[in-house]
Structure 1
Amino acid sequence: MAEWVHRYARVNGLDMHYVEQGEGPLVILAHGFPQTWFSWHRQIPAIAAAGYRVVTFDQRGMGQTSAPVDPAAYDVPHTVGDLVGLLDHLGEQTAIFAGLDFGLFAIYDMAYHHPERMTAIIGLENPAWPHDPQRSPLAEAADLGARHFYHLHYFTAQPGVADAALNAAPRAFLSKVFYALSGDYHYINVWKHPPETAYLEALPEPPPLPWAWLSELELEYFVNDYARSGFTGGLNWYRAMDLRWQQRRRFEGVPNPVPFYFIGSENDTDLEAFHGEDPLAKLHQQYSDLRAVEIIPHAGHMVQMERAAEVTQLMLRFLYELKTPSS
């Protein structure tokens, strides 16, 4: 922790917060919602010690980075522009990108628009865009939300309602959702509640901290940032889903050209429910240079924290393979 350097820079029209450690080839780590740069805190020192310059940043709308109010500011050109702008600011032409959730989806978008600036991708949990060419994400969310509680519909159907509820209780929300997304709970049980349920009511009551993978102090990092920023920026990533869906349509069926490594987990809700049937079987069609697929047992969507040692070991293996390609 003492070797982390916190920096702030003007990137792509944002005041962006990022954390840096180490020297060598650049590795950029991108988080999802409702996380921050801190979700990678167990990987940063190990990757830096292996001879890399590690940078992890707060995504637009989250943590200590600017949060535009307009959901249209979370479309593909903006979120890809953040990654390219960060590369430019760091003075690097290329990087290895690793990500999870919304951070990873932005990386996938960058691979189609600027593959020449990417050495490789290490994807966690989300094997590709959750993309149905026939039906927009928010139309599907509305259908599901009419039948039972569905968080995407709750976030997007009545802008302001979800924001107010979550902003009023950041600690309760974060502790509940982190537990619900972990391998210690089956997240799909949240959907058993009726449509009118609020998210805080649908989420399970978590056990007292510390957990095996999260301490009180670690939770405090997330709570402090979201208590200051609020959750509207993160929710705007959901509200821009249809816009990004439209912008991605021209790449439908086009394999991702960047070398790709995948780390999933046995109990991840996204692999179970958001990527169609048997998503791992489709990877060879979705990536023209698929290098490895690894599944970590007994872990959920918070895998880089739940099983930090295993994730770090796999990432270091992939980085070593990139540095010393077989002949």
Structure 2
Amino acid sequence: MNTSFEHRYAYTNGIRMHYVEYGEGPLVLLCHGWPESWYSWRHQIEAIAAAGYRVVAPDQRGYADTEAPLETASYDIANLTGDLVGLVNALGETQAILVGHDWGSIVAATAALLRPDMFRALALLSVPYLPRGRIRPAVHLQTSAVDKHFYQEYFQQPGRVERELEEDIRRSLLGIYYTAGGESRRHPEHRHQGFIGFDKNARFVDSLAYPDTLPAWLPAADLDVFAAQFAKSGFRGTVDWYRNLDRNWALTPFLDGARILQPTLFVAGEVDGVIHMTAKAYERLESNVPRLTKKVLIPEAGHWIQQERPDEVNTLLLEFLRDPAVQRDSA
């Protein structure tokens, strides 16, 4: 990790947000997913900055060194997108290019829809643009959890999964990272395990697989960083994002049929379980995002795409940033 990264704080949308900054030039915001932090972008920050950009990677609401409000409703999509708008303003900028992974992709896509004047281009990793459905998410959660627990349904009960995860934070994170990563999908036994759907009599943490040795992309020192961050923040605020799925739907009826009109890149791992979960959205990306510049599945890579395959992701991001459409729209 580059020790010259600047660690700073900004007041945005009523919270104190920690972020890491590096480089000079047009602003690029890197938005992480669950359960991660700014550190999940450690391989991208310097590469993007070297291409002539001011790179800012925040700990989003509830994570690491950013404040974690107590009210579950404060983690709704209005606040999550508002945090990014406020951060851009606090940085003294008027525009930014957004790069989001997992939940960060969902927030980035919504921010692009709501503030196209500010967010002029975006790259989405792992989670494709998910247009607002006509049926509220709670119905899908119930139907997805008839025979097995669906992890998003399991997360709805306050306190339950947090207690499990916090029994042994480092082990929990290792299990999540490994189970959703590409290595587990190639393991003869672990490939049959997963937490997207798991036995009704099991806990979430019981559904996780654990490697005999750490994946090459996750050395012990990096796992220790994530573990220390979650030891500080806990998981409550981070899981509250999932507890706002219905609220997010209720808050955004005006987004029915909305398409993302900015230049957009999509990248995911070929064996990422999210791609199977969101297959329809992935198939319809070209129509829902008419200025999609590229749609890439990286072979044998899993969910943590920018960490598992940093060189390939960096090449794709830099190519996207050099795209004439992105250059023009972000000028």
- The two structures have a TM-score, normalised by structure 2, of 0.92
Specify the SS of the correspondent of 2:52: coil
User: In structure 2, what is the equivalent of residue 206 of structure 1?
Assistant: 211
Asked if the contact 1:188–1:269 (Cα under 8 Å) also holds between the matched residues in 2, the reply is: no
Listed as ranges, the matches of 1:130-279 within 5 Å are: 131-134=132-135, 136-156=136-156, 158-186=157-185, 189-190=193-194, 193-209=198-214, 211-273=215-277, 275-277=278-280, 279=281
% identical equivalent positions: 36
Kindly indicate whether the alpha-carbon contact (under 8 Å) linking 1:138 and 1:152 is maintained by their aligned counterparts in 2.
Answer: no
Runs of 4 or more above 6 Å deviation: none
Aligned mates of 1:77, 1:153 — CA distance in 2:
22
Q: After the TM superposition, which residues 248-327 of structure 1 pair with which residues of structure 2 at under 5 Å, given as runs?
A: 248-273=252-277, 275-277=278-280, 279-322=281-324
Q: Distance in 1 between matches of 2:177 and 2:33?
A: 12
**Residues 67 and 233 in structure 1, CA contact (< 8 A), matched pair in contact too:** yes
Offset of residue 149 of structure 1: 2.6
Partner residue of 1:94? 95
In 1, Cα distance between the equivalents of 2:197 and 2:81?
A: 35
**Displacement of 1:196:** 2.7
- Structure 2: tracts of 5 or more residues without a match: 186-190
* CA contact 2:273–2:303 (8 Å) conserved in 1: yes
Aligned match of 2:188: none
> How far off is 1:262 after superposition?
1.1
**Deviation of residue 324 (structure 1)?**
5.4
What is the SS of the residue equivalent to 2:267? strand
Query: How far apart, CA to CA, are the structure 2 residues paired with 1:281 and 1:132?
Result: 15
SS of residue matched to 1:147:
coil
Output the CA distance in 2 between the equivalents of 1:324 and 1:80.
24
Q: How many residue pairs get matched?
A: 321
> Bigger CA drift: 192-201 or 56-65?
192-201
Contact 2:22 2:46 in 1 (8 A): yes
Q: Secondary structure at the residue paired with 2:206?
A: helix
Residues 197/117 of structure 1: CA separation in 2 closer, same or farther (3 Å cut)? same
Q: Deviations over 1:251-305 (max 9, x none)?
A: 12121122211112211111112x144x333112211322221221110110000
Matched residue SS, 2:25: coil
RMSD: 1.8
What is the distance in 2 between the residues matched to 1:150 and 1:177?
15
- Specify the alignment match of 1:39 in structure 2: 40
